[in-house]
Amino acid sequence: MPFTVALAGRPNVGKSTLFNRLAGRRLALVSDMPGLTRDWREAEVELGGLKVRLLDTAGLDDGPAESLGARMREGARRAIAEADLCLFLIDARAGITEADAELASLLRRGTTPVVLVANKCEGRAGRDGYYEAFELGLGAPVSISAEHGEAIGDIIDIIRAAAARAPGSAGTGEDERPLRLVVIGRPNAGKSTLINRLVGSERLLAGPEAGITRDAIAIDWVWRGVPIRLYDTAGLRRSARVGEHAEKLARADALRAIRFAEVVIVLVDARQSLDKQDLHLAGLVAEEGRAMVLAASKGDLVPDRPAYLKALRKGLDDKLPALRGAPVVLVSALAGWGLDELIEAALGAGRTWNRRIPTGELNRWFAGITERHPPPAVSGRRVRLRYITQASSRPPTFVVFTTRPDAIGESYRRYIVNELRAAFGLGGVPIRIHLRKGKNPYAKEV
C-alpha cells in the first residue's frame, strides 16, 4: 500500500485546500463555511516520485455522542490511526484556540507521527499564530499558505523524508533527492572547466574567453553513490558593469540558481587575492541563506599552499562574518586534484545547512551562555531571556523568547550566533535569530 498521509485539524483551517494543492487538482470541496468536509476523502498522488495516499479528514470538533459531529470526528480519528503520517493544520491568522490545544493533546497520545503545519501564513497576519504554535508541544511548525501555494515543496520534502524512514521503505525518499550544488564566480574563473572535470566529460563549453556560459545549466551526476545536480552559471560581474542585454539575462539566471541551491561553491582564482567582487558573491549566498564552500581554482600554481589557505580563511572570516567557518578548498581542474575534498566539503556543508538541534540540548547550552554573559540592562531594567528553540533548518533559524525583544542589541545577537557556531559546528551557513516576546504568566487576561 502507498505511504498514507492524513490531514487533520479543526474545521476551516484549510485541510481541503492543502489536499487539492498536493493532489494537483480540485478533488475536495473548498469553502469558507466550516465543516464542509464530512467524510474523509482519499486520493492517490505522486509527490516527487513517491506514491502517496492522501486522506482529507473532517474537521475535528466537539459534538454530542451519536450526533453527526461525533460520527465525523470518529471517522477522522480512524483515518489518522490508519495513516503513516499526520499533518496537523492550524490557522495561523486565528492563532491557537482551545480546540487546537485539545486536538494536539489527542494527537500526542496517538501512535501516528505528527507534523504541525501553520497554514495561512502569507504576509504578516499569521506571524503571531505561527510562534504561538510552538506551545502545542508538537515541535517546530511548518509555515505554509495552501491557498497561495507557498512552501508546498517543504511539505512534500517532509512527506518523502518520513516515507524513507518508515518500516519497509524501498528507499524512495529524501536520501534519493539530489543535492542542488551551484558553482558561481567571476567571469573566466574556471567554473565550466571544473564541472567538466568533476563529471568526467566535456559537457560544458569552456575556454579562455570570458562570458562563454550564459544559461544556468543543470547536470545530473552521481559521486560515490550520492546523487548531485550540478549547476554551472554565468560569470557574475558588478551590476554597474553589466551592460549587454544577454549578460543581464545571464546574471538574473545565475541569481535564480543561487536561490534554488542548497550549497553554493564560490570559485575564486588562487593567483589573485580575495577581492571586493568575490566577497560580494559570497554575500549573495549569505543573503539567500545558502551554505557555502569557497574554492580556489588553479591551486597547483600556489607555492605555499598552507599559508595561502590560512590567509584565505582569515580574510573570509574577517570580511564576511555571516559565513564564518566556511570550508576553504584548493583545487586544480586541469591537474585533477582537490576535487574529492571539494565535494566532501560541499556534502558536509549541506548536512550543516539541514541540521536540527534538539530543544533540550539547545536550552541547556543557552542557559550556560546567558548566565556567563547576560544581556546588558537597559535603563536600569534587566532583560530576561526565557528560552530558545530552532524554528527551522535550511538555514538554521532560531527563535529566542525574551521579556523585551527591542532591548536586545545587535552585538548581543552576534554573541548568540558566534556561540551557536562554536558549540554546534555551524560554520559556513547563515544563522537566523528572531526575538519574540514571551507571555507573562502573571498577567491577568481581560
Q: Would you state the pLDDT for residue 256?
A: 76
Tell me how far apart the alpha carbons of residues 212 and 332 are, in angstroms, rounded to a whole number.
Answer: 20
Q: Would you state the pLDDT for residue 314?
A: 92
Residue 432 has pLDDT above 90, yes or no: yes
Q: Would you state the pLDDT for residue 63?
A: 52
> Does 35 or 393 have the greater pLDDT score?
393
CATH 3.30.420.40 for domain 178-353, yes or no, is no
Tell me how far apart the alpha carbons of residues 427 and 342 are, in angstroms, rounded to a whole number.
Answer: 16
Superfamily the domain 3-165 falls into: P-loop containing nucleotide triphosphate hydrolases (3.40.50.300)
Tell me how far apart the alpha carbons of residues 50 and 22 are, in angstroms, rounded to a whole number.
Answer: 12
Q: Would you state the pLDDT for residue 84?
A: 92
Tell me how far apart the alpha carbons of residues 155 and 141 are, in angstroms, rounded to a whole number.
Answer: 11
Mean pLDDT of 73-90: 82
Between 101-115, 133-147, 224-238, 283-297, the lowest mean confidence (pLDDT) is in 224-238
Instruction: Give the best-scoring range by mean pLDDT among 106-110, 119-123, 251-255, 346-350.
Output: 346-350
pLDDT grade, residue 173 (50/70/90)?
very low
Between 90-99, 227-236, 362-371, 435-444, the lowest mean confidence (pLDDT) is in 435-444
Residue 390's closest CA among 432, 349, 421, 353? 432
Give per-residue pLDDT as tens, 300-321. 888 888 898 999 999 999 999 9
> Does 153 or 39 have the greater pLDDT score?
153
Q: Would you state the pLDDT for residue 36?
A: 37
DSSP per-residue string spanning 103-124: HHHHHHHSSS-EEEEEE--SSS
Q: Would you state the pLDDT for residue 242?
A: 46
**Can the peptide bond before residue 430 be classed as cis, meaning omega within 30 degrees of 0?**
no
> Does 201 or 14 have the greater pLDDT score?
14
pLDDT grade, residue 208 (50/70/90)?
very low
Mean pLDDT of 150-159: 91
Residue 181 has pLDDT above 90, yes or no: yes
The domain at 359-437 falls in which architecture? Answer: 2-Layer Sandwich (3.30)
Task: For residue 108, count other CB atoms closer than 10 A to its CB.
Answer: 12
> Does 207 or 296 have the greater pLDDT score?
296
Tell me how far apart the alpha carbons of residues 392 and 226 are, in angstroms, rounded to a whole number.
Answer: 24
DSSP per-residue string spanning 129-142: HHHHGGGGSS-SPE
Tell me how far apart the alpha carbons of residues 129 and 150 are, in angstroms, rounded to a whole number.
Answer: 17
pLDDT grade, residue 72 (50/70/90)?
low
Residue-range domain boundaries for the chain: 3-165, 178-353, 359-437
pTM over 0.85: no
Q: Would you state the pLDDT for residue 140?
A: 85
Q: What is the DSSP letter of 1?
A: -
Q: Would you state the pLDDT for residue 31?
A: 38
> Does 191 or 59 have the greater pLDDT score?
191
Between 45-54, 140-149, 207-216, 380-389, the lowest mean confidence (pLDDT) is in 207-216
Strand 3-8 and strand 50-56: pairing?
Answer: parallel
Q: Would you state the pLDDT for residue 298?
A: 85
Q: Would you state the pLDDT for residue 61?
A: 55
Q: Would you state the pLDDT for residue 56?
A: 83
pLDDT grade, residue 276 (50/70/90)?
confident
Give per-residue pLDDT as tens, 20-54. 899 886 654 343 444 434 345 778 888 888 899 88
Whether the domain at 3-165 and the domain at 178-353 fall into the same CATH topology: yes
